[in-house]
Amino acid sequence: MAIILITGSSTGIGYAAAQTLAANAHTVYATMRNPQMSQQLQQWADAENYALTLLQMDVNSDQSVKEAFNFVMAKEGHIDVLINNAGVGSWGAVEELPLEFFRSDMETNYFGTVRCIKAVLPSMRERRSGSIINVTSVAGKLYSNFHATYCASKAATEAMSESLAQEMAPFNIKIALVEPGVIETPIFGKANEVPPGTHYPNIKRFLSVFAASLENHIQPSVVADVINDIVAGRRTDFRNPAGPDAKGLLAWRSSSPDADWINSTMLGDAGWIAAMEQMGLPVRKYMEAEDLPQL
């Protein structure tokens, strides 16, 4: 069984992945900034006698990452699988979002991933063995208005991962991407508020799509199962969509000419609502409400 380190394990996909992998007899180090906030995960593992350990790590800190990886290496001797899952998300118009949101999304979602990869690669390269799984998003290939900060960070991670996969192939190190669709996780409740008096009323459409999608209540365990399949070798693709809407969203974007994709924002509200309803997204009630949807 594998020695696995997961980032961003306090909630959502990371939490579910830690549980699923531990339940499949792997040794799991579930890292997060504040382990004291997720003691229920440790209690669950202890009750089931699973090999899971909570470990403090902030992917935005060189020192924190170094200490966490050194701890695992000292205890286990190696790390078989690194799962980069820690992430944050912002939304809003490029013009109106403060630069700090661009920096925050990129620092955690991209540089945090790179920081952890650089910490584990020397030992994997020397052993000529290991796997790195980067959790991105369909947003890494499907770029939406009002989602520029998040999409840019996930696109950067996808590009870096594809380059890395080529570098690592001669060393027998596997790189894989997991691309979730809309999953019900706390990331939505942690995002920034839309600036009052925005000049971009179409942001209501953006939020309505997410509100309607979240009605499906797709749980993080769906993504955890994909990650588990990669670790077990049952999935061998580089890109792995996760969730019932992921493949459809990616296919929609790849089949749309760039001009059509960009100009779709020019549709009137009635036409846009009808188009979304044809895709199974009940956005009308959110669009007709006086206030912006709350996710």
SS3 173: strand
Q: Which residue has the tokens 């939020």?
A: 207
Catalytic residues: 150
Is the Cβ–Cβ distance between 242 and 226 less than 8 Å?
yes
Calculate the dihedral angle through the C-alpha atoms of 131, 136, 140, 142, rounding to the nearest 10 degrees.
Answer: 120
Which tokens is 185 given? 């996780």
**Cβ contacts of 238 within 8 Å, gap of 6 or more:** 162, 165, 175, 176, 177
Cα dist from 253 to 55, 113, 179, 275, whole Å: 38, 26, 14, 15
d(C-alpha 267, C-alpha 275), whole Å:
10
